[in-house]
Amino acid sequence: MLSAVKSLRQSDAERFEHLVREHEAGIYRVAFRLCGNRDDTEDLVQETLLEAFRAFNRFRIGSHFDRWVYRIMRNTHIDRVRRKPKCRVESLDSNFATQTDAQCARDVPARHSEPDLRLMARTLDGPIQKALDDLPEDFKAVVILSDIEELTYEEISRIIGCPIGTVRSRLHRGRTILKDRLKCYARI
């Protein structure tokens, strides 16, 4: 009996590790886009996964493991941002100051006759991440989950824990801010 329980626990731990291995890239990617730097990203991923492992008995087999981890990650990230006094938490109603075309013109790379989007994104990774970092947390999470992870509104709504209408409006506001920030690059 005891050995059966023991093996069940072992298989739980192994199953968890197996699921994490399957979704390593996505988990790290979302964390990185939320944090903007490697140190914070790795702290966030570790904290999230340890939290997820402790709560693994609540994970429903058959549901999406990565979505479940994103929800934990999002909450963990918000807690971390609140704990960190140096982080800037902006009100959703605050006016968002945008860069002028003249300010970002210095960063614009040389024009290509046929710009490769992937190459451009690689080149502009820094400025794009900076624009993401400047988004209010609620907008940022929605934009990352929608535009980087390509999740549906329904999935985002479950992860964030808000109605679909809120996801839709936050996504639009986040994208509008990003568009203004990246205007000079997007025109290339």
Residues in the chain: 188
Question: Least separation, in Å, of the C-beta of 128 and other proteins?
Answer: 6
Residue 65 in tokens: 């493991």
How many residues bind other proteins (CB under 8 A)? The answer is 47
Helix axes 164-181, 125-133, angle to 10 degrees: 130
43 sits near other proteins (criterion: CB under 8 A):
no
Among 75, 98, 166, 169, binds other proteins (CB under 8 A): 169
Scanning 62-70, 80-88, 97-105, 117-125 for contacts with other proteins by CB under 8 A, the matching segment is 117-125
Q: Is 84 among the residues that bind other proteins (CB under 8 A)? A: no
Paired tokens of 92: 């959703």
Per-residue binder mask for other proteins (CB under 8 A), 125-144, x = binder: x--x--------------x-
Q: Quick one: which of 7, 11, 17, 161 contacts other proteins (CB under 8 A)?
A: 17
Contact 182, 127 (CB under 8 A): yes
Interaction between residue 105 and other proteins (CB under 8 A): no
Nearest approach, Cβ of residue 187 and other proteins (Å) = 8
Per CB under 8 A, the segment of 32-40, 68-76, 84-92, 103-111 that binds other proteins is 32-40
Q: Which residues bind other proteins (CB under 8 A)?
A: 9, 13, 16-17, 20, 24-25, 28-29, 32-33, 38, 41-42, 45-46, 49-50, 53-54, 117-118, 120-122, 124-125, 128, 143, 146-148, 150, 153, 168-169, 171-172, 175-176, 178-179, 182-183, 185-187
